[in-house]
Amino acid sequence: MITVRVPAKVNVQLGVGGLRADGFHDLANVFFAVGLFDEVTATPGEGVTLSCTGPDAASVPLDDSNLAARAARLLAAHHGLADPGVHLHIAKAIPVAGGMAGGSADGAAALVACDALWGLDTPFDTLLELAAELGSDVPFALLGGVALGRGRGEILDALPVAGAFHWVFAVAEGGLSTPAVFRECDRLREEAGTGSSEADVPTPDADPALLAALAAGDPVALAAALTNDLQAAALSLRPSLADTLHAGTEAGAIGALVSGSGPTCAFLAKDAESATAIAAALTASGTCRTAHATHGPVPGAEVSAPRP
């Protein structure tokens, strides 16, 4: 039995370029791995089967559309294994369809877990390539830490970061579809008259002030530099998120933004104590389902030590 622990992400910068011919958008995507984890446990089995536990388990698909199942099959095919056998159990704590790459995290964890279970010893660079085939956010879940994602988010460069940052995540009732949020971003750009194609929108770049704040471990400077080009689209589809962002700011957050395509909202706190207080205030505010205080950056998908 192999258990892999894998983190959620927040995007501290999500710069979205124009719509490409392949239906994706070029990004300047600064991923930040935070201490909210799923665990994927691989045990020998017949075919590829899945189970899931956790508060959102009922909304996790247990068929071949699940990225964990697709990851197991892709790894097996890469190695020419005709008859892969594995049962994958997902202990889910990352919100489903929440903008924190929980499905991508499970795909990354399944790659690492099956690689260990089947004794394949796949080079890390190959795992990153397989991860990119599964989805734009899957390679980062393998890498963890803080990284700049270019292209559709899959071309990664690790970024220097000092110390720990303290975060609060306000989990919404229900999810948002990532493709729907990107479509709404394009629609809003058309409506504003700026256009939404690659020719209309300049290719985004990482913000030097944000990179400096990360390298210096400066939460106030990072809070000032947080940006998400999908935020207006997420708010347009879910206007009540404005109340959540307001409640966290009122409770003392130094920075607030929608996480990725939402609807989870992310808040930067000045220290651990403040994060605990903000999480309690958000939970009490009635503007979200629940809120978690945590910190980051944390490592990417890794095999956990066996429990005694």
- If one asks whether residue 182 binds ligand C5P (CB under 6 A), the answer comes out as yes
Per CB under 6 A, does 152 bind ligand C5P? yes
Site for ligand C5P in 78-137 (CB under 6 A): 135-137
Number of H helices, E strands in the chain: 10, 12
Is residue 178 at the binding interface for ligand C5P, with CB under 6 A as the rule?
yes
Instruction: Give backbone dihedrals phi and psi of 193, rounded to 5 degrees, phi first.
Output: 85, 5
CB of 107 to ligand C5P, least distance (A): 9
CB of 179 to ligand C5P, least distance (A): 4
Q: Where are the alpha helices (DSSP H) in the chain?
A: 67-78, 102-117, 124-134, 138-143, 178-192, 208-216, 219-225, 231-237, 241-250, 272-285
Between 178 and 294, whose beta carbon lies closer to ligand C5P? 178
Least Å distance between CB 134 and ligand C5P? 8
Determine the straight-line distance between the first and last CA of the chain, rounded to whole angstroms: 13
Out of 5, 9, 25, 189, the only residue in the binding site for ligand C5P (CB under 6 A) is 25
- Candidate list 106, 115, 137, 186, residue with the active-site label: 137
Q: How far is the CB of 112 from ligand C5P (least distance, A)?
A: 19
CB closer to ligand C5P, 179 vs 208: 179
Cα–chain center distance at 290: 18
263 binds ligand C5P (CB under 6 A): no
Cβ-proximal residues to 149 (8 Å cutoff; 6+ apart), any chain: 27, 29, 30, 31, 136, 139, 140, 155, 156
From the candidates 9, 38, 92, 229, give the one annotated as an active-site residue: 9
- In the bound state with ligand C5P, the residue whose beta carbon lies nearer, of 135 and 300, is 135
Q: Which is nearer to ligand C5P, 27 or 245 (CB)?
A: 27
Question: Token match 């990725």: residue?
Answer: 260
What gap in Å lies between CA 113 and CA 133, rounded to an integer?
18
Instruction: Report the alpha-carbon distance of residue 200 to residue 133 in Å, rounded.
Output: 28
The DSSP bridge pattern shows strands 48-53 and 302-303 to be unpaired
Q: Which of 145, 153, 175, 255 binds ligand C5P (CB under 6 A)?
A: 153
CB 202 within 8 A of CB 229: no
Residue placing its CB nearer to ligand C5P in the complex, 90 or 251: 90
The set of residues, in sequence order, having a beta carbon less than 8 Å from that of 50 and lying 6+ positions away, is 62, 63, 66, 68, 69, 87, 88, 89, 90
Q: Is 137 a catalytic residue?
A: yes
Rule CB under 6 A: say whether 18 interacts with ligand C5P: no
Contact positions vs ligand C5P (CB under 6 A): 23-25, 27, 135-137, 152-153, 178-179, 182
Annotated catalytic sites, by residue?
Answer: 9, 137
